[in-house]
Amino acid sequence: MSSTKIFLKSSDDKTFEIDETAARASETLKNIIDGGCLDGVIPLPNVSSNILPKVIEYCKKHGGDNGSSKKIANGGVDKDKEILPDYDEEEDKREKVRVDELKKWEEEYMDFDQQVLYDLMLAANYLHIKGLLDLTVEKAASMIRGRTPDQIRENFNINSDFTPEEEEEMILIEDEWDDEWAFD
Amino acid sequence: MEEVKHLPCEIVSEILSRLPIESIMQFKSVCKSWFSLIEDPSFVKLQLKRAKSQPHRLILWSNQVRKNWVLLLDRDKEGKDMWKGRDISLEYTFKYEKQDHCLNFIIVGSCNGLLCMVSTFWYGCCSIFYGIFICNPITQECTMLPVGGGRFFDGGDIAEGQIGFGVDSSGKYKVIQIFKKQSFSSDVDDDCGLKGEIITLGESSWREIEIPYKSFYSRDDSWRKRRAIEGMVFMNGVLYCIIQKPTTHEVSDQPIILVFNLDDDKFSTIEFRPSIELPPYYELGLTEIKGSLALHHRLDFYDEPSILRMWLIDINKSKGNQLYHCDHTRVPKMGRNFFVCFDLVGMLSNNLLLYTVEIERGTLLLAHCLEKKQFMRVQIPQAIPSRFQAKSFVPSLVSPIAIACGKTKKDGRYKFQGLHLEVVGYSSLWEFMSSCLLHPTFSPTLSYKSQYLPR
């Protein structure tokens, strides 16, 4: 595939360059490119200039290759392979190395604070980059796992809008599903 | 810190759908929009999809004298053999002579977070069949199926026959009962056909279905040869169970697998090549192992360390009779036992098989790590009954009531805490039962004594 350059403009009017193959990782950008409405620069009013380079970095890594990212989403192992005898062991090893390398890259890539995480989720959602959305959402989920509803409200800046009577009922549910396992 | 922007609904559902069911249930109380999001049918679908790709959970249950005991088990991430459990209150009662009586139940099927339960109660020294329930132990919702064509009331004996529960490709949940057509008056070993009845969740009556296979075995065979009422295995829109191979002349102990396709309501069978030596049908168990059907040897008499045998059936291969003898493991000796019964519960995650083992002093839960070829006894911190059964389970928010009533749960009500069922409009059980017998299409209405919260 030819590597035509595409220009993206962030919400604060900064322009970034990306290869067309990489840009195709985004469903939204792909549609714009295929729709032939390429008028030099694509404006992205929902993505700021401190997030856009992050998005481009991801697209560069994943552009034109959806195979291995899918493998990770499935838990890295093809279920048929482990129990049925006839499969290519060599191919499996190579695949494993690829997956491991990608996992390591993702780990380094995902090292940022919560604010960036939220912005990145919004950007991935807006640009329809499934892999990036999965990655960021998974991280957000692991961050809130095991927290109490109170902590969640604080974290997501949500006010409880239940009436006092409803609140009481809610406390019952909370208690029932309290994550304190009877261990000690 | 800068104020966090509100996330759009679709991102919140993506995040929540990746959480364990306990967190999801708890986070209903975060705010009204999260509450309605979690109740929304599209979220229920999304959560189910994610939960299915996760390692399955385990449900343990046991009928105790005055209480049913259900435990939702989860493998502890850090610990090795200590698993965590959560008590789930499932209380089903019926009114008889103005008193609440507790129903016992057997879980015969587990599909998409719904359990199919056969309930019985003790009357004198007999266990009497009461009904079949579909329930979601997470949301505590439960619906009772209409009473079938009278088979179970016929002799009161529920020891024989099998019940299957699954969902077809269009999302219809179906329950099928298979039992032997048997004349109770005859003492001769008669060749009995199999009889089947099926119902789709939401329908008002059972339909009889023809099973073009016969089963030959004498009525007074030893208890081991009578298959206890147990669940058929559900996998990808198809139900499977082991039956005896039909022969034209003599009684055979050879197993074959009866296959029922929920999409077209058609039966077929899987036969095995004669070269494969299999134990008799009554010593075999059937389970799903990661998308394959597995046969395993259930019974063992042992003085020495015993051998666990398992065969994987490749259904996709032509004629469907390929068996892979995949597992052949020596099990460590567990005390001085003369007789053991293994049941393969299933594969919860990659390389981890779970067995329940019945020995003299009770039931053990045994985890078998395929990679390390190691067995370990699963420890549960709670006090648990000495005998229990187990089933693999995918926790979901699927509502059996919504499916049965054809309604979506959008009316903004929810239920919590233990659920009590009560048959309404029938003051005595016998009146209720006789009305069922007289009107096979009768469908009792049930009231839910749980509390509702108007939005």
Question: For chain B, which residues make up each domain, given as ranges?
Answer: 1-54, 55-405
Report pLDDT for B212.
79
What's the confidence (pLDDT) of residue A184?
32
Out of B211-220, B249-258, B284-293, give the one with best mean pLDDT.
B284-293
Return the minimum-mean-pLDDT range out of B137-151, B185-199, B228-242: B185-199
Q: Is B290 close to A144, i.e. CB distance below 8 A?
A: no
At residue B150, the pLDDT reads 47
Chain A stretch 99-128, residues whose beta carbon is closer than 8 A to a beta carbon of chain B: 114-115, 118, 121-122, 125
| The pLDDT of residue B250 | 62
Share of chain B above pLDDT 90, in %: 14
CB of B452 less than 8 A from some CB of A? no
pLDDT of the residue at B337: 58
The per-residue pLDDT for B181 is: 62
- pLDDT at residue B115 greater than cutoff 60: yes
How large is the average pLDDT for residues B142-158?
59
- Does the interface predicted TM-score (ipTM) exceed 0.85? no
Query: When comparing pLDDT for B165 and B214, which is higher?
Result: B165
Comparing A80-89, A165-174, B119-128, B223-232, the range with the smallest average pLDDT is: A80-89
Domain topology for B55-405: Neuraminidase (2.120.10)
pLDDT bin (cut points 50, 70, 90) of residue B96 is low
The beta-carbon neighbor of B11 closest among A137, A145, A169 is A137
Average the pLDDT over A81-96 and give the result: 64
3-state SS string for chain B: CCCCCCCCHHHHHHHHHCCCHHHHHHHCCCCHHHHHHHHCHHHHHHHHHHHHHCCCEEEEEEECCCCEEEEEEECCCCCCCECEEEEECCCCEEEECCEEEECEEEEEEEECCEEEEEEEEEECCEEEEEEEEEEECCCCEEEECCCCCCHHHHHCCCCCCEEEEEECCCCCEEEEEEEECCCCCCCCCCCEEEEEEEEEECECCCEEEEEEEEECCCCCCCCCCCCCCEECEEECCEEEEEEECCCCCCCCCCEEEEEEECCCCEEEEECCCCCCCCCCHHHEEEEEECCEEEEEECEEECCCCEEEEEEEEECCCHHHCEEEEEEEEEECCCCCCCEEEEEEEEEEECCEEEEEEEECCEEEEEEEECCCCEEEECECCCCCCCCCEEEEECCCCCCHHHHHHCCCCCCCCCCCCCCCEEECCCCCHHHHHHHHHHCCCCCCCEEECCCCCCC
pLDDT of B334: 60
Report field, pTM of the whole predicted structure over 0.90: no
> For residue A19, what pLDDT band results from cuts at 50, 70 and 90?
confident
pLDDT at B152: 47
Q: pLDDT at residue B102 above 90?
A: no
Query: Domains plus CATH for chain A?
Result: 5-145 (3.30.710.10)
pLDDT in tens, B333-347: 666 656 677 888 887
Which is more confidently placed, B152 or B104? B104
Q: How far is A4 from chain B (nearest CA, A)?
A: 32
User: Average of pLDDT values for B389-410?
Assistant: 79
Question: Which residues of chain A does B290 touch, with a Cβ-Cβ cutoff of 8 Å?
Answer: 79, 82-83
pLDDT greater than 90 at residue B46: yes
> Region B95-99: what's the mean pLDDT?
60
**Per-residue pLDDT at A162 exceeds 80:** yes
Lowest mean pLDDT among A6-20, B275-289, B305-319: B305-319
Task: Show residues of chain B in contact with A133, CB under 8 Å.
Answer: 11, 14
